[in-house]
Amino acid sequence: MKVIKFGGSSLASASQLEKVLNIVKADPERRFVVVSAPGKRHENDTKVTDALISYYQKYRNHQDVTAEQDWIIQRYQDIIDSLGLGSAIFNQIKQSFKDLASLPIVDNDFLYDTFLAAGEDNNAKLIAEYFCQNGLMARYIHPKAAGIIVSSEPQNARLLPASYDKLEELRHAREILVIPGFFGVTEDNQICTFSRGGSDITGSIVAAGIGADLYENFTDVDGIFVAHPGVVNNPLSISELTYKEMRELAYAGFSVLHDEALIPAYRGKIPIVIKNTNNPDHPGTKIVLEHQEQTLPVVGIAGDDKFVSINMSKYLMNREVGFGRKVLQILEDLNIRWEHMPTGIDDLSIVLREKELTPIKEQEILAYLTQTLKVDEVDIERNLSVIMVVGENMRNQIGVTAKVTKALSEKNINLEMISQGSSEVSIIFIIKTEQEKEAIRALYHNFFENN
């Protein structure tokens, strides 16, 4: 049993929906289809969701909304007409969008969420109708009926854990269920949307809820690339990635799936595959709990900038019980999240994201370090980037660190800091941001082009 989710660009036009139909038909295990709202058909197009935001803003400001309504309804009509779906479904969708303009504006915390969710909701109805007319036994199901009951946090809904019992019952549905992504329903019957990456979250929740064998996430790329295509020309895509590896890559800027979307599937031990609607024969990237394939030691190389390092040294620091804890305590008191803490004997660095260190917090920290902890020296190093070389199989391979450091040294890239933990899922190098792209290219060349 598989849950299959399609992103907006996969659902932007009739020709895209034909691909979707063929994909769903191709595997009888694809029994739960989670859909986004129609996305862009071409680069300068408008997403339905963005049009709904304009519609909401005008309505909220008591302005005329006819143009926005018409544009949105026309998007759906274009698809319906091209697919020959008839007027019943069109009228239903048209009315649904018009009805938004009669919702109460005052004291309605969920107005924005309700407007936005209409894009996914109506698309699910349309797609269920299209499937039915083309030989698939399919049924639209509203998140409330599906059991996606969420907390009352507008634009930041969280699934209530009790939902999973209801979701599990969906296993017994005889039809293919078409579920709108991006939103759930509160216990008070309000539409409430998830945070960014919302349809991915719905797919992940449904996959965990029904205990799917696989969660297929269809998008418009051939999976996750080994390195950022903006840095490396035409990079390879990763065939298999573990959740841990995905987390490490996501940390340093890889963003195919949002963290929030990974959690339910991870907890439910459901593998994910990221595939391309426009190239469904490409195997894509599989995200698994443990590697099944014999992969290369390194699966991906990521880089992220805007890091700073607070470097301190104190003679005999190493003998002072509690020194490191006190440093972390002041950061916690200032609500600063830190990333790494490389240590020498009498020196210690704290690596954090630049945005965490506001000027006032920086002053507080420096005062505390010099006056209370009495460090001998402290300085702040800026414009740092983190380079992550990721791969769970590194731990069985002697020499990955040697290969990495040699590649960087040949390009005259100095290592400011290194952190390699015992998990060996990744090795983290901190370098100057001005050398970040060159470092990624050098590593890509050494790990993926020389073999």
Among positive and negative, which fits the CA dihedral 288, 289, 294, 296? positive
**Among the listed residues 101, 236, 263, 366, the single contact to a copy of itself using CB under 8 A:** 263
Residue 372 makes contact with a copy of itself by CB under 8 A: no
> Cβ neighbours of residue 393 under 8 Å, at least 6 residues apart?
291, 295, 296, 297, 299
**Contacts with a copy of itself: how many residues (CB under 8 A)?**
62
**Among the listed residues 35, 417, 439, 442, the single contact to a copy of itself using CB under 8 A:** 417
Which has the closest alpha carbon to 127: 277, 6, 42?
Answer: 6
Least gap, CB of 236 to a copy of itself (angstroms)? 23
Residue 78 makes contact with a copy of itself by CB under 8 A: no
> Cβ neighbours of residue 188 under 8 Å, at least 6 residues apart?
152
**Among the listed residues 253, 268, 280, 342, the single contact to a copy of itself using CB under 8 A:** 342
Which 3 state secondary structure label does DSSP give 335?
A: coil
Residue 79 makes contact with a copy of itself by CB under 8 A: no
Listed ranges 22-30, 110-118, 191-199, 396-404: which one lies at the site for a copy of itself (CB under 8 A): 396-404
φ and ψ at residue 195, rounded to 5 degrees:
-75, -170
Q: Is 5 part of any known ligand binding site? A: yes
Residue with tokens 């901190």, as numbered in its chain: 430
Q: How far is CA 109 from CA 9, 105, 116, 152, in A?
A: 29, 9, 13, 9
Residue 305 makes contact with a copy of itself by CB under 8 A: no
**Among the listed residues 152, 343, 358, 363, the single contact to a copy of itself using CB under 8 A:** 343
Residue 406 makes contact with a copy of itself by CB under 8 A: yes
Query: Which secondary-structure segment (H or E) carries 409?
Result: helix 400-410
Listed ranges 6-14, 67-75, 100-108, 426-434: which one lies at the site for a copy of itself (CB under 8 A): 426-434
Least gap, CB of 374 to a copy of itself (angstroms)? 13
**Among the listed residues 62, 321, 359, 374, the single contact to a copy of itself using CB under 8 A:** 321
Residue 426 makes contact with a copy of itself by CB under 8 A: yes
**Which lies closer to a copy of itself via its Cβ, residue 85 or residue 407?**
407
> Cβ neighbours of residue 75 under 8 Å, at least 6 residues apart?
38, 48, 51
Q: Is 120 part of any known ligand binding site? A: yes
Least gap, CB of 80 to a copy of itself (angstroms)? 42
Least gap, CB of 221 to a copy of itself (angstroms)? 23
**Which lies closer to a copy of itself via its Cβ, residue 325 or residue 355?**
325
For strand 240-242 and strand 272-276, is the pairing parallel, antiparallel, or unpaired? Answer: unpaired
Which has the closest alpha carbon to 333: 372, 379, 384, 380?
Answer: 372
CA distance 359 to 176: 55
Q: Can you spell out the DSSP letters for 231-285? A: TSSSPPBPSEEEHHHHHHHHHTT--SS-HHHHHHHHHTT--EEEEETT-TTS--E
Least gap, CB of 243 to a copy of itself (angstroms)? 7
Residue 362 makes contact with a copy of itself by CB under 8 A: no
Residue 296 makes contact with a copy of itself by CB under 8 A: no
CA distance 353 to 366: 17
The residue ranges that bind a copy of itself (CB under 8 A) are 243-244, 247-248, 251, 259, 263, 266, 309, 311, 313, 315-316, 318-319, 321-322, 324-325, 328-329, 331-332, 335, 337-349, 381, 398-399, 401-402, 405-406, 408-409, 412-423, 425-428
Q: Which residues are annotated as a binding site?
A: 5-8, 49, 120, 219-220
Q: Which residues are annotated as a binding site for ATP?
A: 5-8, 219-220
